[in-house]
């Protein structure tokens, strides 16, 4: 395979490289004093604004920024101290370092610096453009004309700025913060909740060490997570498909009524349905009481829906079918109705029976359309916090030394580790690993699917 060369469809002569090569003194000086080139070339609005932004950044870095970055190395060393105040006869507390804030501010300052580097790059290009236009005797945009261009040729910049700002501020920044946390000892162990240090890959080593309790719990939870995701995805898909086909048959009467019955469960919020199910399946819940009254189980006996590991796992998968099938039914009804009728007619003329029609037409067509949906559902199930936490809370716990129950997924275990146990570092490692497993798995499957190869993936 030859090397793929990226072709820039929007070439511009005012690039950063050209500014370095052919730019005048004022453009080159703009690399130090941003906006100078613009000021020289009559852009009296843009030039000072850029210079002002640079000055504000420099002042910020001198007063706060450099200190924040410098403290990233140690993450703070001074702990809070208790000092006896002889005069007032009380204890006073000195303000110590807080590693979480140091880490957060440090990451934010690095982020701001990257943003400023991008702005600086743009400012140099802008100065070079002003220089070229001015030298060629062409019109150089004033500040207001530049602002006005945001509603015309630069409209995309206006529209992309708010979402990008929010994505970087509320998604990328916390993500980097979380990734950094995985390389620290930020946890309740040895009291590192206020002051913590960098520990390199120690957390990853601890999690992968199958000889330790943490490591064995990780492998056990990971394998159950994958088993759960597989069964939760495919049982829903197969059951939803059978139901959709049964309702969609030509001979089936009152199609709307049947769909209404199944979709009715969607009208109740999922967490309410799950809590009702949880209550019904308790040792003294409705189901066990009913079975006792009917005489199917002894008067003191109860089926161990959430107390036996195997029962709990099967119960959760079955209840997930109840919760998820209506959604699959709706999805697949749409797909079924979009299969061209002439394909079936041609198959009938050729003498195909219903099984052949299903395996040669319906199933390939549905899989072709829904492969991206299946991948999205699988990844959604790996992170299906609601069903597990609300139904079983990860129980039963068979090993008291372990921090996870037998039905805990990586995501519910992560929740327990961070919220209940305050092992933030291990939680962060699990978050990173979940992301890697899902991203690699989803990308690999999707890129190898027929939907992707034929460019027919329409759902994601």
Give whichever of 100 and 277 is closer to another protein, judged by the CB atom: 277
Q: How far is the CB of 351 from another protein (least distance, A)?
A: 15
Asked if 187 contacts 193 with a C-beta cutoff of 8 angstroms, the reply is yes
Q: Which is nearer to another protein, 280 or 343 (CB)?
A: 280
- Closest distance of CB 336 from another protein, Å: 15
Cβ proximity of 187 and 424 under 8 Å: yes
Residue 6 vs 249, nearer CB to another protein: 249
Q: Which is nearer to another protein, 251 or 300 (CB)?
A: 251
| Shortest Cβ 109–another protein spacing (Å) | 49
End-to-end Cα, the chain, rounded Å: 28
The residue assigned the tokens 């101290």 is 81
**268 alpha-carbon distance from chain centroid:** 26
Q: Specify the residue, 37 or 285, whose C-beta has the smaller distance to another protein.
A: 285
Q: Count CA within 13 A, CB hemisphere, residue 121.
A: 9
382, two tokens = 């790996």
Q: How far is the CB of 346 from another protein (least distance, A)?
A: 21
Q: Where are the alpha helices (DSSP H) in 249-340?
A: 255-267, 270-280, 286-294, 309-337
C-alpha–C-alpha distance, residues 265 and 278, integer Å: 16
- As beta bridge partners, residue 83 has 92
User: Encoding tokens for residue 105?
Assistant: 């501010």
* CB nearer another protein, residue 34 or residue 387: 387
Q: How far apart are CA 135 and CA 145, in angstroms?
A: 19
CB 258 → another protein: shortest distance, Å?
Answer: 5
Using DSSP's 3-state secondary structure scheme, residue 88 falls into coil
Q: Is the dihedral of CA 72, 77, 82, 88 positive or negative?
A: negative
Beta carbon of residue 303, minimum distance to another protein (angstroms, whole number): 17
Q: Least distance in Å: CB of 223 to another protein?
A: 30
What is the helix (H) or strand (E) element at residue 241, kind and residue range?
Answer: helix 213-248
Residues that bind another protein (CB under 8 A): 243, 246-247, 249, 251-253, 258, 261-262, 264-265, 267-268, 272-273, 276-277, 280, 322, 325-326
Residue closer to another protein, measured from CB, 147 or 266: 266
């Amino acid at each position: 395979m030859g090397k793929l060369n990226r072709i820039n469809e929007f070439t511009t002569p005012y690039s950063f490289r050209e500014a370095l090569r052919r730019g005048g003194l004022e453009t080159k000086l703009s690399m130090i004093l941003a906006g100078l080139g613009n000021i020289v070339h009559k852009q009296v609005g843009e030039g000072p604004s850029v210079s002002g932004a640079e000055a504000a950044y420099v002042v910020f870095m001198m007063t706060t920024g450099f200190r924040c970055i410098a403290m990233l190395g140690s993450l703070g060393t001074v702990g809070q101290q208790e000092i006896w105040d002889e005069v007032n006869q009380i204890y006073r507390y000195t303000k110590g370092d807080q590693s979480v804030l140091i880490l957060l501010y440090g990451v934010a300052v690095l982020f701001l610096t990257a943003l400023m580097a991008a702005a600086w790059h743009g400012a140099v290009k802008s100065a070079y453009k002003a220089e070229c236009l001015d030298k060629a005797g062409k019109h150089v945009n004033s500040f207001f004309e530049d602002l006005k261009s945001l509603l015309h040729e630069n409209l995309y910049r206006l529209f992309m700025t708010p979402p990008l700002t929010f994505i970087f501020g509320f998604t990328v920044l916390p993500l980097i913060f979380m990734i950094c946390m995985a390389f620290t000892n930020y946890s309740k162990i040895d009291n590192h909740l206020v002051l913590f240090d960098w520990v390199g890959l120690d957390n990853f080593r601890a999690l992968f060490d199958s000889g330790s309790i943490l490591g064995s719990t990780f492998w056990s939870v990971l394998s159950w997570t994958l088993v759960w995701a597989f069964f939760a995805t495919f049982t829903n898909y197969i059951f939803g498909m059978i139901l959709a086909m049964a309702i969609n048959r030509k001979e089936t009467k009152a199609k709307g009524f049947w769909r209404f019955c199944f979709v009715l469960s969607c009208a109740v919020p999922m967490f309410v349905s799950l809590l009702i199910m949880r209550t019904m399946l308790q040792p003294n819940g409705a189901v066990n009481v009913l079975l006792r009254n009917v005489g199917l189980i002894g008067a003191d006996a109860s089926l161990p829906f959430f107390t036996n590991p195997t029962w709990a796992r099967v119960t959760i998968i079955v209840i997930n079918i109840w919760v998820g099938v209506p959604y699959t039914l709706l999805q697949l009804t749409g797909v079924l109705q979009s299969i061209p009728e002439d394909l079936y007619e041609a198959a009938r003329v050729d003498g195909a029976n219903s099984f052949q029609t299903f395996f040669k037409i319906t199933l390939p067509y549905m899989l072709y359309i829904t492969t991206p949906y299946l991948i999205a559902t699988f990844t959604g199930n790996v992170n299906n916090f609601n069903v597990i936490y609300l139904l079983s809370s990860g129980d039963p716990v068979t090993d008291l030394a372990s921090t996870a129950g037998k039905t805990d997924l990586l995501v519910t275990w992560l929740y327990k580790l961070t919220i209940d146990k305050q092992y933030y570092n291990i939680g962060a490692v699990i978050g990173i690993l979940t992301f890697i497993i899902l991203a690699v798995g989803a990308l690999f499957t999707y890129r190898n699917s027929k939907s992707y190869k034929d460019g027919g993936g329409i759902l994601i």
